[in-house]
Each structure stands twice: as structure tokens, then as C-alpha cells.
């Protein structure tokens, strides 16, 4: 299994909603990542978990809250988002942090109304 699975594929939420994005991999990878991508722009790193500990937080607003319950799962909890947060949210994993091939999920297309 060489897949990173993200759910849901699409999400529409209001600015007062609370929702969560989920990511799962069963490749035994010990590094997992959240990226945000706007149309026609490169992915921007948000968070990195290495061995289930938060390794990097790229000064992301607190309305985004990551969680790594175990080595296979990564969540991104969303609360009080703004319309400018609408984007494609990508999860990725690698054998180790940054040093290996990255495997990406197909993403969650998020729209904030």
C-alpha cells in the first residue's frame, strides 16, 4: 500500500463551523505533513510531525490545529476559518522528515463561505 488517503475530498463550511480533515497512511512512514495550496501556486508548508511529535509549525494561525493520534493518522482541526483560508489542503508522508521521497494524498478542496 503506497497510498496516502485524505477525507473528505471536498468540504464547504461557514466561518463559525468546526470541522476536521483526516489523513491516513500505512507505509510505516514516521514523518507526516500538512500543506496548503492556492490555485496556480506551489504548496505551502503548514505543519510537520516527526515520530508523532510536532516538529515544525510555520506560524500558522491558531484556527488551524493539527493532531497526530498515532503513527498512521494525521488530523487538521478547523475552527472559525476565514474565506481566504479556502484552498486545497494536502497531506504528505515520508520515511523520515524531509530527507526522503514525499508521498502526497489527493487533497481536500476546502471552501469557506
Partner 1 sequence: KQEVTQIPAALSVPEGENLVLNCSFTDSAIYNLQWFRQDPGKGLTSLLLIQSSQREQTSGRLNASLDKSSGRSTLYIAASQPGDSATYLCAVSASGGSYIPTFGRGTSLIVHP
Residue 41 Cβ vs partner 1, minimum distance, rounded to whole Å: 7
With contact defined as beta carbons under 8 Å apart, do 109 and 88 qualify? yes
Q: Say how far apart CA 72 and CA 78 lie, in whole Å.
A: 20
**Residue among 45, 60, 73, 80 that touches partner 1 (CB under 8 A):** 45
Cβ atoms of residues 113 and 13 within 8 Å: yes
* Interface pick for partner 1 out of 71, 75, 95, 97 (rule CB under 8 A): 97
Where do contacts with partner 1 occur on this chain (CB under 8 A)?
Answer: 4, 6, 40-43, 45, 48, 55-56, 88, 90, 92, 97-107, 109
Amino acid at each position: 500500500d503506497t497510498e496516502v488517503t485524505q477525507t473528505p475530498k471536498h468540504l464547504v463550511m461557514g466561518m463559525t463551523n468546526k470541522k476536521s480533515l483526516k489523513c491516513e497512511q500505512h507505509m510505516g512512514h514516521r514523518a507526516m505533513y500538512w500543506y496548503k495550496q492556492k490555485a496556480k501556486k506551489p504548496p505551502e508548508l503548514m505543519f510537520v510531525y516527526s515520530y508523532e511529535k510536532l516538529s515544525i509549525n510555520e506560524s500558522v494561525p491558531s484556527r488551524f490545529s493539527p493532531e497526530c493520534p498515532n503513527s498512521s493518522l494525521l488530523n487538521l482541526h478547523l475552527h472559525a476559518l476565514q474565506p481566504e483560508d479556502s484552498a486545497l489542503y494536502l497531506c504528505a508522508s515520508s520515511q523520515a522528515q524531509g530527507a526522503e521521497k514525499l508521498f502526497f494524498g489527493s487533497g481536500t478542496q476546502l471552501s469557506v463561505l
